[in-house]
A = this chain, B = another copy of it.
Amino acid sequence: MEIATLLVSCPDRKGIVASLAQLLYGHGANIVHSSQHTDELAGMFFQRIRFDLGTLTTDRETLEAEIRETAADFAMQWRLAYAARRHRVAIFCSKQEHCLYDLLIRHRAGELPCTIAMVVSNHSDLEDVARHFDIPFHHAKITPETKVFQETATLDLLRSANIDLIVLARYMQILSPKFVAQYPSRIINIHHSFLPAFIGANPYRQAYERGVKLIGATSHYVTADLDQGPIIEQETIRCTHGDSVDDLVRKGREVETRVLAAAVRLHLQDRILVHANKTVVFH
């Protein structure tokens, strides 16, 4: 099967589902999966439709043109993703290796449908990991003086490699608003707490001091506001009075890797829509 995924969001009104179903049917496309959500408070409609292009009776251009027309009728935002056109991903990391390893192992196992085009780091520590998986490694050393320059150079690099998703795998630098603006809803970060608890630095120490009985991790799209972007996935894990800060860090690695990988996978499968700083995630 040649699969395409159509993601749409628009003000809710009658007839959207039937219109899209009819449109696709009219081009010979067979719907293999469909999910929808209506946010009644916001008055918004969201849908994800996966369909088979193999039986198309017209061509892709004609199909896209008609989607464009229908979208205009319904004031829809839409995106059409062809499974054959794999996402191109850059992973950013610093010195901690657990999330990087986890993503590369899952990728090799076929869990992450994408091309990992590069690993970018402000340190050289993990070059050996990238090389072990045959992924190009870019060392972009960052100092207060070079930070602006490095971001510009990195943006050039990403553009020239047609990157469409950036994954911050425990990357310890804050991206500038200018950088973030280039990749709206296309930078995924992992924060090592159950947001909105323990925003900012050292969440495990904060958790230790508060004496919580669960710690967590949160993956979210990066926005200009630190730790405030739309949440994609969260998970918690039990801890006790017996856990030192180091124990929390160790336990946390486990949820961080899982939660980041889950978010990346959901994004790569075109399951996420963003509206008003929240995500609609079609599982």
Please state if B55 and A31 are interface contacts (CB–CB under 8 Å). Answer: no
- In the docked arrangement, what's the CA distance between A37 and B211, Å? 15
Our pick among B22, B109, B230 for the contact of A211 (Cβ within 8 Å) is B230
What is the interface residue range for chain A against chain B?
A: 35 or more
A268 to chain B, nearest CB (A): 14
- In the docked arrangement, what's the CA distance between A230 and B211, Å? 7
**Cβ–Cβ < 8 Å partners of A101 in chain B:** 101, 105
Q: Report the copy number of this chain in the oligomer.
A: 4
Q: Which 8 A-B pairs have the closest CB atoms?
A: A211-B278, A18-B25, A21-B21, A197-B197, A17-B31, A213-B234, A18-B21, A241-B280
Our pick among B98, B240, B250, B283 for the contact of A281 (Cβ within 8 Å) is B240
Please state if B55 and A14 are interface contacts (CB–CB under 8 Å). Answer: yes
**A144 proximal to B (CB < 8 A):** no
A228 to chain B, nearest CB (A): 9
**Cβ–Cβ < 8 Å partners of A231 in chain B:** 210-213
**A150 proximal to B (CB < 8 A):** no
**A113 proximal to B (CB < 8 A):** no
- Per the 8 Å Cβ criterion, residues 21-47 of A in contact with B are 21-22, 24-25, 30-41
A-to-B contact residues, CB < 8 Å: 14-15, 17-18, 21-22, 24-25, 30-41, 55, 97-98, 101, 105, 109, 111, 132, 194-198, 210-214, 216, 230-236, 240-242, 244, 250, 253-254, 258, 277-281, 283
- In the docked arrangement, what's the CA distance between A225 and B160, Å? 55
**Cβ–Cβ < 8 Å partners of A111 in chain B:** 250
A189 to chain B, nearest CB (A): 15
- In the docked arrangement, what's the CA distance between A214 and B240, Å? 19
Q: Would you mind naming 23 contact pairs between A and B with Cβ atoms under 8 Å apart?
A: A18-B22, A18-B24, A22-B25, A31-B36, A32-B38, A33-B38, A34-B35, A37-B242, A39-B241, A40-B244, A101-B105, A109-B250, A111-B250, A194-B194, A195-B197, A195-B212, A196-B197, A196-B198, A211-B278, A216-B236, A236-B236, A241-B279, A241-B281
